[in-house]
Chains A and B, each alone.
Chain A
């Protein structure tokens, strides 16, 4: 807290991060995606660490407007407080805003998003890690490196991971996709360079990249990134004294480990969902999937769904488990209350599908997710 009070740039950055809370609220509100209101009608999809979210849904819906309003207020208040240099009060309001954001996200997997992951990570560093300015800059470079490491494969380089077709195509698109990998893994670290020419060489390209991505990923992500990147350009008149650097290094090491764990331990995480909760997984793959249920007692095949979700999560096993839970509830008193479940998926750049789940009697023996999002029974 003292560090924020001593450095004007951190107060300004705190205000920016607070405004990103407001921007998040806007994004969830009827002004944009209307995620708050859609919770009432959409199937509950639970995070692995909150598997019974559907049982809490009536209570959540009852208080959701209040919580959303509190979230908006906290974002605004902390922004104003940081701008007015009321550091102590701003700090606690800002902390509370982060907690409320995390609570809202935990209500339903529909709220999942890499931009929220990055924003909350930056908030945590801002709140708790000493040497904030330097640490957050390194964290942001870590975001790009983490994102870039996911792009070394046909999913990205063929363009199938893009959410929408871009305005460029053909060979220009191929080169652009390869360029993004270079930008994120080779040029992005130059943001930490003391040589201002090298810094601006990287920074300007990154700005242009996010501007260009607007028509593909819509506005929320680029604006969030502009907010996070502002740490690099907010003037800093007071030099930071490096102290307790080990905390900063440990925090960055932890962040790096969280990105690398799924990459090496769960290489199929874009298909199985396992490990995705730990790391960034933006545009790691666009997937397509199928499910089938088989009623043994009736000798009948059906499918579960469809379900309205974002493109990014539509093939996550969490969604399938939500569908199974709903179907089991519907069938509870019927003549055929149980079924076998089969689920398979592939990245759009893969030739073949992978069977992710094949289980009998999933109502009598419900599927569950472990903490990392992998399916168990």
Chain B
């Protein structure tokens, strides 16, 4: 018995030593990552179809916030869907997307829906137990619409019928908007433990490719990609900007700024432009993270910069809209005449120039000519807006903060509210 006991003790000790090594490896993993992969729930009978059109927040993976179109002198409301947004959360609301004659919009009351030109609901998906609903703007890829909710779920929805294809719980909340590139989705996820990370998923079946190490804070900043598709950048609430390689999710660099980064960045010409809650506009060399310049805005900003042309960007803070050069020179500014402005500028490239569309003066939609610096009111809104409008032909679509989803239709005459907006 004594020998048996001895053999048993040695076997236990050896097994325990192995188990301790395994435990140490597990502890090391948890120190660097808050991500625990949850299974992809295959709801539909078909995988996602990702052949075709791509429509996403700010227009492209570089988040240029720029599109070609034609603005009317003014707009009037043609229909509204109400109730739509009703929550108090300070993150900007989800922006609508338009493809042809269908508009897709998501609300903070937990609904994502498709509407036709007359405002009739074609389909909707509801997630009533998500207390903050949707703040993320969807991305459309072919026949599939992807959107993240404030429970941390990413949905793949067949966009003609609204049927859910798959859903994957990625964490505690998704407030930022997903990015699609080359068959993969990139999503910033928040953890309740004041943390966050970036994940890359295969867009067809929702299979995880990689997740990054912890960002050290939550993030509402939608990821931005360089033009080659090799690097992806994220800002976080701790004021840090991160660069990861898209192939393996490896951290390339990170820098610290003075305030929380809550808007998406803009990638242009090898540079990254970000605003933060300390009221800074920063330009950073994308390949290295080296700060190129820093400008001080007049108030804090949650806004995403927009590309006007090569060499000029539009950016907003709580109270003003600005034009800056790539070199950091402020060219112009307009007062938006409101407090707590959270929307981002949309640049409409028209024949003969560029106009910057922004929520302004509390309950208006304004357009600012980037060449003449003239501003005008496009439309009167029933409530303030933190989302970015979607332009489709003669229509504008916008979701309001405590209000409806609106379709605005062109009017030949200027808006009757007070006239041009001066500097």
Given A157-B20, A299-B163, decide whether A346 and B26 contact each other with a Cβ distance below 8 A. no
Provide a sorted-by-A list of 21 A–B residue pairs whose CB atoms are within 8 angstroms: A154-B23, A154-B26, A157-B20, A158-B27, A178-B16, A181-B12, A186-B12, A290-B38, A292-B41, A292-B169, A299-B123, A301-B126, A301-B164, A302-B127, A302-B128, A349-B23, A349-B26, A350-B36, A352-B36, A352-B38, A353-B39
User: A153 touches which one: B12, B13, B23, B38 (CB < 8 A)?
Assistant: B23
A51-80 at interface with B (beta carbon < 8 Å)? none
* Cα distance, A299 to B121, chains bound together (Å): 14
Which of chain A's residues have a CB closer than 8 A to the CB of B167?
292, 301
Q: Does A344 contact B (CB under 8 A)?
A: yes
- Measured in the bound complex, the distance between the Cα atoms of B15 and A292 in whole Å is 38
Q: Are A351 and B16 in contact, CB atoms less than 8 angstroms apart?
A: no
- Report yes or no: B164 in contact with A299, Cβ–Cβ below 8 A: yes
Contact A152 B38 (CB under 8 A): no
Beta-carbon contact of B22 and A153 below 8 Å? yes
Give which listed residue, B26, B27, B39, B129, contacts A344 with CB less than 8 A. Answer: B39
Q: Report the Cα distance A129→B19, complex, angstroms.
A: 37
Q: How large is the interface on B (under 10, 10 to 19, 20 to 34, 35 or more residues)?
A: 20 to 34
Name which residue of chain A comes closest to B125, CB basis.
A299
- A-B Cβ contacts below 8 A, count: 88
Could you tell me if A300 and B127 are in contact, using CB atoms closer than 8 angstroms? yes
Q: Is the CB of A181 within 8 A of B16?
A: yes
Q: Please tell me if the beta carbons of A353 and B162 are within 8 angstroms of each other in the complex.
A: no
Complex: A153 Cα to B13 Cα, angstroms: 13
A299 adjacent to B126 (CB under 8 Å): yes
Interface check B29, CB cutoff 8 A: yes
Verify if B43 is at the interface (C-beta below 8 Å from A). Answer: yes
The answer, yes or no, to whether A298 is at the interface (CB within 8 Å) is yes
Majority-rule SS of A interface residues: mixed
B29 touches A351 (CB 8 A): yes
- 9 shortest interchain CB distances as A-B pairs: A355-B39, A157-B23, A352-B37, A154-B23, A154-B26, A152-B19, A353-B38, A300-B126, A185-B12
Chain B residue at minimal CB-CB distance from A344: B39
Whether B9 is near chain A, meaning CB under 8 Å from some CB there, is yes
Across the interface, A358 reaches (CB within 8 A) one of B12, B20, B22, B41, namely: B41
Interface residues of A (CB under 8 A from B): 152-154, 157-158, 178, 181-182, 185-186, 189, 290, 292, 294, 298-303, 340, 342, 344, 346, 349-355, 358
Closest beta carbon of chain B to A154's beta carbon, Å? 4
How far apart are the CA atoms of A153 and B123 in the complex, in Å? Answer: 49
Given contacts A302-B129, A344-B38, contact A178 B12 (CB under 8 A): no
| B349 CB within 8 Å of chain A | no
CB-CB under 8 A for A351 and B36, given A302-B128, A358-B41: yes
- List 15 additional contacts besides A152-B19, A154-B19, A353-B36; criterion CB under 8 Å: A157-B20, A158-B23, A178-B16, A182-B13, A186-B13, A292-B41, A298-B126, A299-B126, A300-B125, A300-B128, A302-B128, A344-B39, A351-B29, A352-B36, A352-B38
> Within 8 Å CB of A344, what residues of B?
38-39
State the Cβ distance, A185 to closest chain B Cβ, in Å.
5
Inside 8 A of A302's CB, which chain B residues have their CB?
127-129
| Contact A189-B38, Cβ < 8 Å, known A154-B22, A157-B23 | no
Residue from A158, A290, A303 within 8 A of B26 (CB atoms): A158
| B5 beta carbon closer than 8 Å to chain A | yes
A152 to B18, CA, bound (A): 9
**Inter-chain contacts of B123 with A (CB < 8 A):** 299
Q: What separation, in Å, do the CA atoms of A365 and B127 have in the docked complex?
A: 24
Asked if B16 and A303 sit within 8 Å, CB to CB, the answer is no
Chain A minimum-CB-distance residue to B157: A299
Distance (whole angstroms) from the CB of A189 to the closest CB of chain B: 7
Could you say which residues of chain B place their CB within 8 Å of the CB of A299? 123-126, 162-164
Chain A CB within 10 Å, residue with most, of B8, B27, B39, B42: B39
> In the assembled complex, which residues on chain A have CB atoms less than 8 Å from the CB atom of B27?
154, 158
One digit per residue, 1 when the CB lies within 8 angstroms of any chain A CB and 0 when it does not, for chain B 64-86 equals 00000000000000000000000
**Could you tell me the distance in whole angstroms from the C-beta of A269 to the nearest C-beta in chain B?**
18
Give the CA-CA distance A299 to B38 in the complex, in Å: 21
